[in-house]
Structure 1
């Protein structure tokens, strides 16, 4: 088979000349799937719609995999000597399909190629739309079409993703919950019925998504639900001792001895400041154990950041359950430490303080989401793990914003510096961050990935994580594993 991978120059040439770009493959490896989806980013950037890449890439991935499964289904039924067009035999085959094919998928993919069954992705900008068409050369059977249309119709009745996760439990078809989430995703970015169609012609099945070039999405206006706005408005202010300390370090002639004495009265704050002073950014030969030394090393600027993050922590403790807070703070401290180590490793020491605080606060919005939707978030996490996609893509369907946008709104309420707010917000897409925070946002994003790998004891990075890994010039999975292991040892020693 000929090489389907085009150069960036080739892709941009197709876009500039408004020529249709057609990509086709028979087996659709993970690498090929990622490549097909990477082309989407070039097209969205060309029309100024890169903000919807995460949403649209989920939809594209879902449709590519559905086309691939449809082809696998044909060769499987043929091998089992079942007639796919007969309803009874179809039901019998579908009960066996998932179990039998998953354990021997390479065999069935080879059969697909021998039978000439392929999946094709078509991109074309033709005013007023960016047209994306995913096709496969297997004709939908009536029962397949009926199931798909039923899921689409069902999806339109859901008011929220919570309804979807609590209602859709069909495991016989791979397209059950995935299609419902896709429809909710398209609705979220302003793509409705007239811009989405399933068409059959000449033994081909085509699914078309037409993205209006004039599209204005909820992502652009950053819509929060009323429930969420109310929840954020009821979060308490900082404790009094934090407000007093904040005023003291704002003074031009700040007395660090007096500041240290007041800090010592709060054991939790003392521990947090000692942790920060022992991070890679402030590293010393010996472990820092005295609060006076820690305060002098961190300085007024670092103390200001730490007081704000600690104030947020205490305010949240007044309102939210300990089991939610404990889980998120444990992870956040790890991300903060790893962010500091990465700044040191990549000679970005000027960003040490900001990346540490960004790491501490990056998941603050998840506390609110978990308190409102804990059971649903657990289901979303499982769904995303099975689909090999980022949870960030889906969690903004819950309350009109993802948990990083929620965290940004919360930190605005407490008067946290804008660049820290921007670091939090940028965690959904660090590559799209403003230039002045992009490097720090990438550091925190990579630190979050590494922290998750250490917690899960799993060194394999997922497709959606590969872009940031490549950005840090980590050439392959073996080198990534070495980096994770190196950091695991360092944070253990802290």
Structure 2
């Protein structure tokens, strides 16, 4: 293939174009060549998929497509590395006995000596090639490596792929992924199940031996129709929302009083003061890192005067939700703690952007409540969600949403949106609950809120070692003016240190 290559030596890959910010039509097709997967390649794949899928109006497929493309790339690198390992250990990869002996140690050795293998792959000119293209009906991907697959390998991999295409639920996948020696185990099975849940047929993934080249072909039809492979479990989970009580009447009365133009501070303070528990919680939240205004508030009337009625309305929403969920679900406390940190990061992001105080109060409230759907899902399906989170981290997926849909037929973001509908929350809170994992799907008028909540979660996850910074949506970073890779993480470290210092000082 005669391609004009541009070498990005520092990043460790070649591209068929000098600039990936070209108009998307000029990147059709686009070729990426590399010897091993690294953070720069991961970041490039993530950025390019954002561009292609937004253009093709299929951004909701990001998790599924990223998963299967990266899994295929990883398998291609492993296949090339396997040749080096067998040669170094004087094993004949075409000999069945040698093959079994070699595979017993290959995976462990490759993980242990990853950098040396990367250097050797470059030296002996083993490489992988990703091709991205599209037409009016499909998004097309091809992942190739320049090592011919032997019949024994092809047979094993095809058997695993064939089995993976038959899975209909998460239980079947977990029960049958012990042998992933050929790289077509759990990762590919989960990816294909995610695609199946999106309504994309099993034959969208094919492996072919083409002379000295081995290629995985992935075809994503753009007329896909989402389906639910776990419909019955979905019905049971949604039924939990019907069991939630209505929003506390005393809070509805106070919020109604706040919204009356002729209400006085004294009237509102008197109404709030009738509920001792509520008054205490308002003072506590008003003095928290997310809402604090620079000095400690001592009395309820001072709190209401200082923070303003608009902010009081948001505090009441937050406290009402907290009261209902903490009484019903044991997982709430942990989620509330994380959401409080997210709210503080959002506030600092908003201050960085110069957003108005009234907007910041809405943003903080949205951040506090954005994970209410996760409270339900963790409480109902804790073991499953824990397993999916672990897989997502190991596979470097952008989020667990695709896995949640495949396993349970519904995501915590969809549940969050339903709860917001039930309690008649504002659009600001609803969009944060629905789109904080898929920010590029949010409408432009909602992006300030959604992007801030998304980025706050990413800062927390990445600094906690639970997510890979390379998989972040770069459009979000550009929205907040972060230009260098490390700049947003440095911002995050500083803000989290501020939050911890505030918490320590206030206790």
TM-score, normalised relative to structure 2: 0.87
Do structure 1's residue 361 and structure 2's residue 373 form an aligned pair? Answer: no
- Give yes or no for contact 2:167–2:173 (8 Å, CA) kept in 1: yes
Do structure 1's residue 43 and structure 2's residue 43 form an aligned pair? Answer: no
Task: Describe the shift of the 1:429–1:128 C-alpha distance in structure 2 as closer, same or farther (beyond 3 A).
Answer: closer
How far did residue 367 of structure 1 move? 1.2
Do structure 1's residue 326 and structure 2's residue 333 form an aligned pair? Answer: yes
**Structure 2 unaligned blocks of 5 or more:** 8-13
- Give yes or no for contact 2:174–2:186 (8 Å, CA) kept in 1: yes
The 2-side partners of 1:110 and 1:63 are apart by: 21
Q: Residue 14 of structure 1 aligns with which residue?
A: 26
- 5 Å matches for 1:19-418? 19-170=28-179, 172-217=181-226, 225-264=234-273, 266=275, 269-278=278-287, 283-320=292-329, 322=330, 324-350=331-357, 351-389=359-397, 390-418=399-427
My pick for the range that moved more, 458-467 or 132-141, is 458-467
- Give yes or no for contact 2:459–2:492 (8 Å, CA) kept in 1: yes
- Please give the per-residue CA displacement for 1:381-421, whole angstroms capped at 9, x wherever unaligned: 22122222233342232332321121111111111012220
- Give yes or no for contact 1:71–1:136 (8 Å, CA) kept in 2: yes
My pick for the range that moved more, 267-276 or 207-216, is 267-276
The 2-side partners of 1:473 and 1:50 are apart by: 23
How far did residue 61 of structure 1 move? 1.0
How far did residue 236 of structure 1 move? 1.8
Task: Describe the shift of the 1:480–1:37 C-alpha distance in structure 2 as closer, same or farther (beyond 3 A).
Answer: closer
- Partner secondary structure for residue 231 of structure 1: helix
- Give yes or no for contact 1:198–1:205 (8 Å, CA) kept in 2: yes
How far did residue 300 of structure 1 move? 2.9
Task: Describe the shift of the 1:318–1:28 C-alpha distance in structure 2 as closer, same or farther (beyond 3 A).
Answer: closer
The 1-side partners of 2:239 and 2:466 are apart by: 40
Q: Runs ≥4 in structure 1, deviation > 6 angstroms?
A: none
- Give yes or no for contact 1:279–1:341 (8 Å, CA) kept in 2: no
Which residue of the other structure, out of 438, 459, 479, is the alignment partner of 2:487? Answer: 479
TM-score, normalised relative to structure 1: 0.89
Task: Describe the shift of the 1:61–1:298 C-alpha distance in structure 2 as closer, same or farther (beyond 3 A).
Answer: same
How far did residue 263 of structure 1 move? 3.2
My pick for the range that moved more, 481-490 or 98-107, is 481-490
- Partner secondary structure for residue 436 of structure 2: helix
The 1-side partners of 2:37 and 2:457 are apart by: 29
- Please give the per-residue CA displacement for 1:253-282, whole angstroms capped at 9, x wherever unaligned: 224334334434545533543354346776
- Partner secondary structure for residue 286 of structure 1: coil
The 1-side partners of 2:89 and 2:487 are apart by: 43
The 1-side partners of 2:224 and 2:54 are apart by: 13
The 2-side partners of 1:240 and 1:395 are apart by: 34
Task: Describe the shift of the 1:150–1:258 C-alpha distance in structure 2 as closer, same or farther (beyond 3 A).
Answer: farther
- Please give the per-residue CA displacement for 1:300-329, whole angstroms capped at 9, x wherever unaligned: 322222222222222223432x2x112111
- Partner secondary structure for residue 209 of structure 2: strand
**Structure 1 unaligned blocks of 5 or more:** none
- Give yes or no for contact 1:117–1:137 (8 Å, CA) kept in 2: yes
How far did residue 124 of structure 1 move? 2.5
Q: May I ask how many residue pairs the two structures share in their alignment?
A: 485
Task: Describe the shift of the 1:23–1:453 C-alpha distance in structure 2 as closer, same or farther (beyond 3 A).
Answer: closer
Task: Describe the shift of the 1:469–1:38 C-alpha distance in structure 2 as closer, same or farther (beyond 3 A).
Answer: closer
The 2-side partners of 1:226 and 1:281 are apart by: 36
- Give yes or no for contact 1:112–1:118 (8 Å, CA) kept in 2: yes
The 2-side partners of 1:130 and 1:108 are apart by: 32
- Partner secondary structure for residue 82 of structure 1: coil
Do structure 1's residue 463 and structure 2's residue 475 form an aligned pair? Answer: no
My pick for the range that moved more, 260-269 or 439-448, is 260-269
The 2-side partners of 1:34 and 1:449 are apart by: 15
- Partner secondary structure for residue 455 of structure 2: helix
The 2-side partners of 1:297 and 1:167 are apart by: 59
Task: Describe the shift of the 1:291–1:141 C-alpha distance in structure 2 as closer, same or farther (beyond 3 A).
Answer: farther
The 1-side partners of 2:447 and 2:96 are apart by: 54
How far did residue 54 of structure 1 move? 2.6
How far did residue 177 of structure 1 move? 0.7
